[in-house]
Amino acid sequence: MPQGTLDVMKLDGQPVTYQVMFEQNAGGTFVARVDSTGLVPLMHEEMRVELPAAESIAQKAESEGRVRVANVFLEENNLHGAMEYLEEDI
């Protein structure tokens, strides 16, 4: 089970978009760019971050511009599911 840091950063521009990074402690990085309506669904539905945590992270990213959450655990298949989900949108 990958453990790492979830990093969500609000990017300038219209429409507002967010960069979502998951950095595994043992190496490797997953990066996505989503619009404001896709941020919580990406974290909750695809990465399986609990809904209250995903909503809190999204609110902080909106108000503060960036939020980093250390020691996040993701199941390996959830991380791959999120990557496949984003590849379909490209």
List, for residues 34-71, the tens digit of each pLDDT value: 999 999 998 888 888 889 999 999 999 999 999 998 88
**In the block, which residue shows the tokens 């909750």?**
44
Question: Do the Cβ atoms of 31 and 23 come closer than 8 Å?
Answer: no
Can you give the pLDDT at residue 77?
58
Can you give the pLDDT at residue 90?
41
Specify the amino acid at residue 79. Answer: L
Can you give the pLDDT at residue 27?
59
Contacts of 25 (CB under 8 A, 6+ apart): 3, 4, 5
Can you give the pLDDT at residue 79?
58
Q: What are the strands, taking DSSP E only, across the chain? A: 3-11, 17-24, 29-35, 66-73
The whole-model pTM stands at 0.71
DSSP state at residue 70: E
